[in-house]
Chains A and B, each alone.
Chain A
Amino acid sequence: MITAGVDVGAKTVKIVVLRDREVVATAKDLSGFDQAKVASELLAQALEKANVTQGDLAGICSTGAGRKIVSEATHSVTEVSAGAKGSLFINPDVRTVIDVGAEEGRAIRCTEKGKVEDFAVNEKCAAGSGAFTESMARALEVDVAELGKLSLGSDASVPMNAQCAVFAESEVVSLLHAETPKQDISKAIHDAIASRITSMARRIGLNKEVLVIGGVALNVGFIRSLNEAIEMDVIVADDPEFVNALGAALIAAERAN
């Protein structure tokens, strides 16, 4: 059986095509202004890569903030269900999923069957999402990938007012003025976001294994700070950005049965 998962996020669209629970193609692009169009074109590309046509598909499940605009979708689920499903598929021992995307952070607690027991979402707070690292990287005048690596070089713990992204930005500027080494500032930034995410995740309880998904999982500085904050080692998903799309494709397969 062939199915597809389409994850229309705030910044990017991700697609996973599955054949008999095996990934046969993925695709990713910026969502741009016309998300519906991007999603359609990207889906076509992914199907082409997989060498199948839309008619071959047993189902298409959309997820993400823009899940309702995908006209091709036969089903649609929220990121919570998709994230849990994809994560358990990757690693059946996962009980806690931490999903940090461009605009939102989420924590999901699930059973061994992949059923969601509880979840928490970071409310309207930029300090717990990818947007935060991006604006901080701008303030430090480095790119995001570099920001993460920089912080690995620091063991300092410079406390930062993590409550509010606006203040954090001016704080970074004054730390720069005070000639605090960039790597220490970078560490402070990642500690701050890790602290926000940990706070939220503690609401639902942190049980082993903890899998981190979403684009920010690629940031090594964040992962290191997160490990320190939750006092255990998290697992980072391979291709963390695609886990929700993968979960959606799995759900499409289940529903088709």
Chain B
Amino acid sequence: MAKYKTEPLKCWAKAKELRDKYYQDYATAHERGGIRWTGGAWSFDAIPYGLGDDVYPITGEPYAASIAFNKEFSLKCMEATEAKGWARDLCSYMRNYWGSMYLNKYNFGGPYPKPTFAFQDHICCSHAKWYQVVAEHEDIPYFNIDVSVGPYHLIKDNPQKIKYIVDQMHESIEFLEKVTGREYNDDKLIEAVKTDMRSTSTWAKICELNKNVPAPLEEKSMYSFYVFGTLSKAKKEFADFYDELYDEVKDRVDRGIAAVANERCRLMSDTQPPWGFLKVFRYLEKYGAISVGSLYTFGLVGNWEVKKDGTWGARETYMEKGIEINTRDEALTALADWTLSRPEWQHFYDPGLKTEMMLRIAKEWKLTGVMLHLNRGCEGLSTGIMENRLGLVESGIPVMTFEGNMGDEREFDLGRTMTRIDSFMETLDLEPISAD
């Protein structure tokens, strides 16, 4: 007998449709006289929206993850990148993306749609280099904003850090006007900044609902939703979708609907999963175990803050707080301030900050243990991961690690990983509930 009731999510179809439309819109933007640009999931995508309503981005990380999911094409992309001489241990998203570009094949059919310009942020060593190569290959202009000014708690007392970023943002608007020949619209920018705040705080609210037992969402389905925040945080349709999703998940909580019927062991993961092998998450169900999220799914897209009672909740938006945004400079400053507070940005400087956040999640989301993906594909999110492991273990939280690669299946061993999970479950005294 199952412990909890389960139900499929109603939002699925809508999510799929929105995602497909995003990639189609990008591909067909030029036919409609629009602009398409490429950049990272970390880019300030609100800024190009000031160029008009017909601006369509493609962000490299989720695009590359979609390639990784398509194993056959991914392998071709990897090989194309390797044939150019690039090292196999570089960021595997970057290698998938470059491969698609070198092969001139779009993962959603047809040739790779050439962007008008590249617009990137820099916090990981690979960020700026990624689009440097793209810009050279595609012969397109490129702007990059360095955001590596340190963790947020040090920023408040150092206005020059925000200023450095805002200065570059101003510069980037001049760049955008120059390379597109369009006049920049500050009202559209302000709107986009507000939308960014709305979508990223709503995503945090959705993740917060997973504090409930049983959890209404498991991480594998969260991947299909958090992705919108990596595609474009400032896109109105996506922010609206998050509002809808929130209502649905809230309703599940109210009615006690679980993601996993026999939930009895709550875990979190870390870093991007091996995209071609999400069945690892299904394997957990055999033990009644569920991954209720991760700092990665919560904090790459979601904006959080410590609430009065000391727990984590969605960060209040400027609108909720009644702070007005009226000028370009105010909008850019607000965007910088908002973005820099995002959890996944903090650990680049200090693994201690990440351990602290993970311990917080472990406590507030009522976890039994942690599964760390030692992800050879991403130097950025693997930064400091062994110190995180030590920190968690020292705090008495059981941790298992498994090595793999989010985007290069040649570096992942499914059988061994499942054995690793078996061992971990044994150490937690959990026996399988169901057969394989």
Contact = CB atoms under 8 A, between A and B. Distances in A.
Contact of B403 (A65, A68, A79, A124): A124
Interface stretch (B51-59, B251-259, B313-321, B415-423): B415-423
Given A77-B426, A78-B426, A123 B393 contact: no
Contacts of B420: 121
B422 A78 contact: yes
Interface in A69-91: 77-81
Contacts of B399: 118
B413 interface: yes
Contacts of B426: 77-78, 80-81, 116
A67 to B, nearest CB: 9
B413 A80 contact: no
Contacts of B403: 123-124
Contacts of A80: 423, 426-427
A78 B426 CA distance: 8
Nearest to B389: A203
B419 A65 contact: yes
Nearest to A110: B427
Nearest to A116: B427
Contacts of B427: 80-81, 115-119
A118 B422 contact: no
A119 B423 contact: yes
Interface residues of B, number: 17
Interface string B398-436: 110101000000000100100110110011000000001
Contacts of A120: 401
Nearest to B429: A115
Contacts of B422: 77-78
B393 A78 contact: no
Task: Name the prevailing secondary structure of the B interface residues.
Answer: helix
A124 B413 contact: yes
Nearest to B421: A78
Nearest to B399: A118
Contacts of A115: 427
B376 to A, nearest CB: 9
A196 to B, nearest CB: 15
Given A123-B403, A124-B413, A81 B393 contact: no
A81 B423 contact: yes
Interface in B362-412: 374, 386, 389, 393, 398-399, 401, 403
A193 B402 CA distance: 21
A157 B403 CA distance: 31
A203 B423 CA distance: 17
A116 B423 CA distance: 9
A203 to B, nearest CB: 8
Interface string A23-55: 000000000000000000000000000000000
Q: Which of A68, A78, A117 has the most CB of B within 10 A?
A: A78
Interface string A195-230: 000000001000000000000000000000000000
A118 B393 contact: yes
Given A117-B427, A123-B403, A124-B403, A78 B419 contact: yes
A78 B417 CA distance: 12
Contacts of A203: 386, 389
Interface string A123-134: 110000000000
B413 A78 contact: no
A116 B428 CA distance: 9
Contacts of A119: 423, 427
Nearest to A118: B393
Q: Which of B386, B389, B413, B422 has the most CB of A within 10 A?
A: B422
A68 B422 CA distance: 12
Contacts of A124: 403, 413, 416
A81 to B, nearest CB: 4
Contacts of B401: 120
A90 to B, nearest CB: 20
Contacts of B393: 118
Nearest to A205: B393
Interface in B1-19: none
A222 to B, nearest CB: 23
A214 to B, nearest CB: 16
Nearest to A79: B423
Contacts of A121: 416, 420
Nearest to A75: B431
B186 to A, nearest CB: 52
A74 to B, nearest CB: 13
Contacts of A116: 423, 426-427
B291 to A, nearest CB: 20
B215 to A, nearest CB: 26
B53 to A, nearest CB: 49
A124 B374 CA distance: 13
A124 B404 CA distance: 10
Given A78-B419, A78-B423, 12 more contacts: A65-B419, A77-B426, A81-B423, A81-B427, A116-B423, A117-B427, A118-B393, A118-B398, A118-B399, A119-B423, A121-B416, A203-B389
6 contacts: A65-B419, A77-B422, A78-B422, A78-B423, A118-B393, A124-B403
